[in-house]
Amino acid sequence: MSCRSRFRPSTAWQRSAHRLLAACFAVLLGASALSAADEEAYWTVLTVARNGNWGIATAGTQGEAIASALRKCQTMTADESDCGAELVAFRSGLALALLCGEHRVIVTAPDAEQADSSALDRLLALRERHGPDFPACQHLLRIDAHGNLTTFKARRIESGYSRAVPR
């Protein structure tokens, strides 16, 4: 007498097992992609008010970075400010901010050359729109994706920094 097992998995069981394995594989792939994205970079936010006050913050989420940049900008002035009316959020590259009277030019780019080119394009468009009355511009700052100032011309005030000092 032979001792053979007559156990044969059913076709339905095989389909369920394949689906389960495929689902586990997809979850593992998704989890590794998410952790790689988390490690990729933090969000950096720059906001500039019309009066020249600004705020910079870097955080793990865009919302946290925005909130922190707004707080930093608002603490620079006792007056009512429009901090947050214009802001940029980025994960890599750099940001450049110019102030032209009450007009702000804030751009992000992968490198300084592209930032300068984008800012120039924006300035030309603003000058074309506003005509000869468009005010002269002042360079406020340039920051990298880690929130580090790479250039900065401003005067120090009690709680932070304010409008750029003309050359």
Residues 83 and 16 occupy one common structural domain: no
Residues 116 and 143 occupy one common structural domain: yes
Residues 47 and 75 occupy one common structural domain: yes
Residues 21 and 72 occupy one common structural domain: no
Residues 89 and 156 occupy one common structural domain: yes
Would residue 2 count as lying in a domain?
A: no
On whether the CB atoms of residues 101 and 135 are closer than 8 A, the answer is yes
Would residue 4 count as lying in a domain?
A: no
Residues 98 and 152 occupy one common structural domain: yes
pLDDT tens-digit map of 82-132 = 999 999 999 999 999 999 998 999 999 999 999 999 999 999 999 999 998
Q: How confident is the model at residue 149 (pLDDT cuts 50, 70, 90)?
A: confident
Mean pLDDT of 152-158: 49
**Burial (Cβ within 10 Å: 0-12, 13-18, ≥19) of residue 26:** exposed
**Structural domain range at position 132:** 43-162
Quick one: pLDDT at residue 116?
92
How far CA 118 is from CA of 15, 43, 114, in Å, comes to: 55, 21, 6
**Coil vs helix vs strand at 126:** helix
Would residue 167 count as lying in a domain?
A: no
Give the DSSP H/E element, type plus range, for residue 32: helix 11-40
Q: How confident is the model at residue 152 (pLDDT cuts 50, 70, 90)?
A: low
Residues 69 and 151 occupy one common structural domain: yes
Would residue 5 count as lying in a domain?
A: no
Would residue 60 count as lying in a domain?
A: yes
Residues 120 and 94 occupy one common structural domain: yes
Q: Report the number of distinct structural domains present in the chain.
A: 2
Quick one: pLDDT at residue 31?
43
Residues 31 and 92 occupy one common structural domain: no
Quick one: pLDDT at residue 8?
52
Quick one: pLDDT at residue 43?
96
Residues 54 and 34 occupy one common structural domain: no
Quick one: pLDDT at residue 44?
95
Q: How confident is the model at residue 80 (pLDDT cuts 50, 70, 90)?
A: confident
pLDDT tens-digit map of 12-59 = 555 554 454 444 444 444 443 444 455 467 999 999 999 888 999 999
